A and B are shown apart, each in its own frame.
Chain A
């Protein structure tokens, strides 16, 4: 991957991300009509859900790179997998924050256990935070790369299993059940707004990913050169 400052692909991606997000936010807050029941507050949906889906995408991307690492034993996939997890955690935290804000505006509480997505993200946040603890406590090298990859694969399997568990858990705890009119049927304008925001978030994640990866590769190359000069 080219580390030149004139890397057109990275710049183009960043520009696309900025454009889509700008468009998406504008649509979400100015163009799309108010949701029938929730009203203006509902608009955070256009930020919260794309961020959540993007986080999932990052974790799946990380697992894919992890699989490639274990399959081919090529070390470059380690950095790619790690960066994807990093992006996933960033977007995961944003999901929790936006979800919390949405809960506050909808129901007056900053947290509720009856919001499945929110609970799932909490579990995933814990899981992937432990990923970093794992990485920091093992010497860099092929061993750490292998373990990180296995862990990233576990994470992606945990997503559906946890979701199922959380659904089952609802039968046990008797929370104040909050209902939300997300509306499985999005109207045309809502769908368009959502898709634009989603595309924008994905592009943002991609842009940040490319940025961080390039930076880390530069660091590694620099360290290599320093070594060689000694």
Chain B
């Protein structure tokens, strides 16, 4: 199927770009660890375990924002996005390929963040890992679309967090619930539902965000 081939081509291109430039992933790794350390000082002594899990999710959201701010940086600086949009492939493939790359970057950041969290704060359960995985898909799905919007605006880096934060509140709820709740399955199911709904919506509407 040429559609999936296009997605593969574009995802590979994004991963290759990051491999060359090596600016986004190292920044995300350093950022998430720094944030966790800051949170250690932000938590008063005797704070509950639940609070720590909550702060982990805060750190993940802001790390995602950091990564997403760079998502369309190359395309914007060199106006390459015009070149991609003109190509005969479906524009949603751009979202898909870029989204896959964003998930990969988030996964790398989380591979560092979760052990660090377990070391500094509280143990990490399998439910938490599953929640983080599902959440990453959600972050990437809406974040890639919003990053494209922000790239087309004058405000750029300023705009992305404003657009992103309200939309990902449900992810944070799902994530924290899976981390500390009695019934993590319910929250994991909710995360999956969120991913499904917003991935489809983002996939279908990306075309309109990058064209006139």
Within the complex, the shortest CB–CB distance from B68 to chain A, in Å, comes to: 15
Q: Check B212–A143 contact: CB distance below 8 A.
A: yes
Closest chain A residue, CB of each to CB of B211: A146
State whether the Cβ of A153 lies closer than 8 Å to any Cβ in chain B. yes
Q: Check B212–A157 contact: CB distance below 8 A.
A: no
Give the number of residues in A that approach B within 8 Å (Cβ atoms): 32
Within 8 A of A (CB), among B145-197: 145, 149, 152-155, 158-159, 162-163, 165-167, 169-170, 173-174, 176-177, 180-183, 186-187, 190, 193-194, 197
State whether the Cβ of A40 lies closer than 8 Å to any Cβ in chain B. no
Binary B-proximity of A137-156 (CB < 8 A = 1, otherwise 0): 11001110011011101100
Q: Determine the distance from Cα of A172 to Cα of B172 in the docked complex, in whole angstroms.
A: 12
Interface range, B side? 35 or more
Q: Check A147–B173 contact: CB distance below 8 A.
A: no
State whether the Cβ of B209 lies closer than 8 Å to any Cβ in chain A. yes
The 8 Å CB contact of B159, one of A133, A142, A150, is A133
Within 8 A of B (CB), among A125-178: 126-127, 129-130, 133-134, 137-138, 141-143, 146-147, 149-151, 153-154, 157-158, 161-162, 164-166, 168-169, 171-172
Closest chain B residue, CB of each to CB of A69: B208
Q: List residues of chain A with CB within 8 A of the CB of B186.
A: 168
Q: Determine the distance from Cα of A169 to Cα of B57 in the docked complex, in whole angstroms.
A: 14
State whether the Cβ of B205 lies closer than 8 Å to any Cβ in chain A. yes
Given A141-B212, A172-B180, A165:B169 Cβ within 8 A: yes
State whether the Cβ of A79 lies closer than 8 Å to any Cβ in chain B. no
